[in-house]
Amino acid sequence: MNIIEGFLFDIYNVEEQVYVWVLDKENKPQLFLDTFYPEIYLDGPRILLEKVVKRILFYNALKEKPVWVSRKHFYSNRDVRVLKIVISKPSVMRKILHKLYAFYGLMDIYHTDIEVPTGYSYYRKIFPLAKVKIEYENRNNFNRIQNIYTDDDIDACEYEVPMLKIME
């Protein structure tokens, strides 16, 4: 297991593959790979939920069997029971998103509009320009993230900033 420290510089994805760029202590960019499968949450009439799951199955984008979970409702702060669906192909989200919007008012739909890099950052509890520590393994010439974390506080007013290059 290898460890590196640096500043989180960029995150982007191609499907479930997440690319994480970090500026190391020598201010050199380092690339790391991770995997992330977005989750969406639905609540509504069973027949509509089944239609949504069938559509996701049609696109071969269901990572695991949907399960009922309890989550805090954003506005009421109460626990609500919702169907958790894990998406194996994030690109399918855009395809089903437009179809899901037709169900607004008929069912509750959560997390469908969260971009993969944002969802990944939230899942990993990291944020742009945070000082991160990454535990990784080099497999097939790629640095695969085993764990990534930060001790930085997203609400801090005083923080270290990396030496960035300026292009003119």
Comparing C-alpha atoms, which of 157, 112, 113, 154 is closest to residue 132? 154
Q: What's the pLDDT score for residue 17?
A: 96
What's the CA angle centered on 39, arms 33 and 42, to 5 degrees? 170
pLDDT of residue 107: 86
Tell me, what's the pLDDT at 39?
94
Predicted structure pTM score: 0.87
Give the pLDDT of residue 82: 95
DSSP assignment string, the chain: -EEEEEEEEEEEEETTEEEEEEEETTS-EEEEEEE---EEEEES-HHHHHHHHHHHHHTT-B-S--EEEEEE-TTT--EEEEEEEEBS-TTHHHHHHHHHHTTBTTBEEESTT--HHHHHHHHHT--TT-EEEEEEEEETTEEEEEEEEE---TT-SS----------
DSSP secondary structure string for all residues of 63-111:
-S--EEEEEE-TTT--EEEEEEEEBS-TTHHHHHHHHHHTTBTTBEEES
Q: Which two tokens stand for residue 30?
A: 């380092």
- Locate 81 and state its tokens: 């029971």
Q: Mean pLDDT by 10-residue block, N- to C-terminus, for the chain (168 residues)?
A: 95 96 94 96 92 91 96 88 95 78 78 90 94 95 95 86 81
| pLDDT computed for residue 137 by the predictor | 96
Phi and psi dihedrals of 151, rounded to 5?
A: -100, -5
Q: Quick one: pLDDT at residue 47?
A: 92
8 Å CB contact between 19 and 35: no
Handedness of CA 67, 70, 74, 75 (dihedral sign): positive
How far apart are alpha carbons 114 and 93 in whole angstroms? 10
Query: What confidence score (pLDDT) does residue 112 get?
Result: 83
